[in-house]
Structure 1
Amino acid sequence: MSNNAPMRPRPLSPHLLIYKPIPSMVMSIVHRITGMVLYGGMGVVALWLLAMASSEDSADLFSELFGSIIGLVVLFLFSWVLFHHMLGGIRHLIWDFGYMLSREQSRKTSAALPVASLAVTVICWLIAWLLV
């Protein structure tokens, strides 16, 4: 089955950095990154639950860690990641039903997603601050 005919060069697929970034592409990449951060963060949540169940000393250690300024910033960013990923998932669910698929609507929802996720995060933190 050997063929001595010269082979045509195969088409090359351009790398991601070749394309001009568009808002929906950027939000897709951010959605994937937030999914990975959530996956890693669930390990920290599992460690926190183990610490709470194991001893008072380990529970106090986690309370001190997440009660510090750096810990609160990490918790704020993690909650933003959670809400951003959740709202991005809702956006994809809306697309699955066939709505908001035009380029203009995609651009608008891409611009609204970071703003909405930050707003929901701030509102949740304000509610938590007022309740504690």
Structure 2
Amino acid sequence: MADTSATRLKPRPLSPHLQIYKPILTMMMSIVHRITGGALYFGTLLVAWWLIAAASGPSAYTAFETFIGSIVGRLILFGYTWALIHHMLGGIRHLVWDLGYGFEPTEREVLTVATLIGSIGLTIALWAVGYIALGGGR
């Protein structure tokens, strides 16, 4: 048998972790991008529920409308809208990087902040336009 005691005495290399790295904005946005991807997965269940309710008849659709029209439903829908837009803008940011642009530290920060501000601004604008198009708070 081989003597493994020598390998046990050597310290094993440790992988860097969040305790070693200083969190930067692009790192945090990468984490948020993954979270929004997961949120979109569950938000798609809402889309499926909407389509199934529409195909199932008036009573099923009324149940869906009642939920989505409630405060909780609207908050979930607002969050789903933000996650969708944020994830899309993050994908565009990654496309820019794939094309070989935006790798300088200041460029990375500008793209990251633009993604965050753009997603919030576009979400609010989309909801405002939708609210006005539907005739306000009826």
TM-score (norm 2): 0.88
1:69-84 correspondence to structure 2 within 5 Å: 69-84=71-86
How far residue 57 of structure 1 moved from its aligned partner, in angstroms, is 0.7
Q: Any idea what the Cα deviations from partners look like across 1:42-100, whole Å, max 9, x if unmatched?
A: 12211221111012111001101111122112111110110000000000001000011
| Greater relative contact order, per chain length (Cα 8 Å cut-off, separation 6+) | 1
Q: Provide closer, same or farther for how the CA distance between residues 21 and 4 of structure 1 changes in structure 2, counting only shifts above 3 A.
A: closer
- 1:32 and 1:104 map into 2 onto residues whose CA distance is 23
Structure 2 counterpart of 1:118, from 117, 120, 123: 120
How far residue 17 of structure 1 moved from its aligned partner, in angstroms, is 4.1
Q: Which residue of 1 aligns with 2:6?
A: 6
- 2:4 and 2:39 map into 1 onto residues whose CA distance is 51
How far residue 122 of structure 1 moved from its aligned partner, in angstroms, is 0.9
Q: Any idea what the Cα deviations from partners look like across 1:91-113, whole Å, max 9, x if unmatched?
A: 00010000111111111222222
How far residue 4 of structure 1 moved from its aligned partner, in angstroms, is 5.4
Q: Which residue of 2 aligns with 1:38?
A: 40
Structure 2 counterpart of 1:19, from 21, 31, 41: 21
TM-score (norm 1): 0.92
- 2:50 and 2:85 map into 1 onto residues whose CA distance is 20
SS, match of residue 14 in structure 2: coil
Q: RMSD in angstroms over aligned alpha carbons?
A: 1.6
**Count of aligned pairs between the two proteins:** 132
Q: Which residue of 1 aligns with 2:57?
A: 55
Give aligned-pair identity as a percent: 46
